[in-house]
Amino acid sequence: MTYARIPNALSIAGSDPSGGAGIQADLKTFAAQRCYGMAAITALTAQNTCGVSGVHLVPPAFVQQQIAAIFDDIRVDAVKIGMIATADIACAVADALSAYPGVPIVLDPVMIAKGGAPLLHDDAIDAVRTRLVPLATIITPNLPEAARLLGTAVADTRAEMVAHAQALLALGARAVLLKGGHLAANESPDCLVFDGGGHWFESSRLPTTHTHGTGCTLSAALAAQLAHGASLPDAVHTAKTYVTAAIGAAHQLTVGHGHGPTHHFHTLWQD
């Protein structure tokens, strides 16, 4: 009997002990998307659904050692980069991944936690911009993250979203998925821009507080789809469909008193 090859996906991100974001969300997402998940930890956080109360950084050399240990032994079909925290960690990750140019990389430039706590030092913005963005197959910033990367005001129209996405593309990424959840509207459109084309992904804003880790989950799902060999527009469509359904099913969970997590296994945990 022969079996289809199961892809291997690596998350390079921080740990969320409450399980809704970070590597915990990424590993759940990889599993739900039929990938074997792996993780190199950049930071330990003390957080729950109400906020972040502490961050303990992993030494950059050890972050690089984790990544090297995985690549030395295991085929990696896609990488998702999440919380980086510092310029030194950003450079360590870039140094480790630059030896593997053929592996798809999804960069989610995590800067602020859902509760408002900063997760990226100010001096790390330039390192993310100059070292990690050029390595990325696709980056997935929200509107405030895109503005910080570009050093400009936050986009508040679709036209400005397109302009920001194209400016980010010029920094070296092969594609940009600019998430429009911060627009002041009932819709939450995302703008995909790549060399020679672009596409709008339309979705309605869901009336829920169960949004903890949605950015992590989207970028991990996107990495999983690229690991499976999906084309970029198809990968984005599948990832967004998965996240939307995970948010819609989150009411089935009873986790915490703040911004609750999404239901990563909504298609698997059914009566």
256 in active site:
no
240 in active site:
no
42, 45, 140, 211: which is the annotated catalytic residue?
A: 211
Q: To the nearest 10°, the Cα dihedral for 167, 170, 171, 173? A: 110
Contact criterion met (CB below 8 Å) for 48 and 18:
yes
Pairing, β 190-194 against β 175-179: antiparallel
191 in active site:
no
80, 114, 179, 240: which is the annotated catalytic residue?
A: 179
14, 20, 213, 260: which is the annotated catalytic residue?
A: 213
- Residue 11 makes CB contacts below 8 A (sequence gap 6+) with 23, 26, 27, 30, 37, 38, 39, 40, 79, 80, 82, 220, 223
54 in active site:
no
Q: What does the alpha-carbon distance between residue 40 and residue 72 come to, in Å, rounded to a whole number?
A: 14
Alpha-carbon Rg for the chain, nearest whole angstrom, is: 17
Token pair of 184 as six digits:
């002041």
214, 217, 240, 262: which is the annotated catalytic residue?
A: 214
Q: CA-based diameter of the chain, in Å?
A: 57
214 in active site:
yes
* CA neighbor of 243 nearest in space, from 213, 269, 198: 213
35, 91, 191, 216: which is the annotated catalytic residue?
A: 216
244 in active site:
no
Question: Active-site residue numbers?
Answer: 179, 211, 213-216
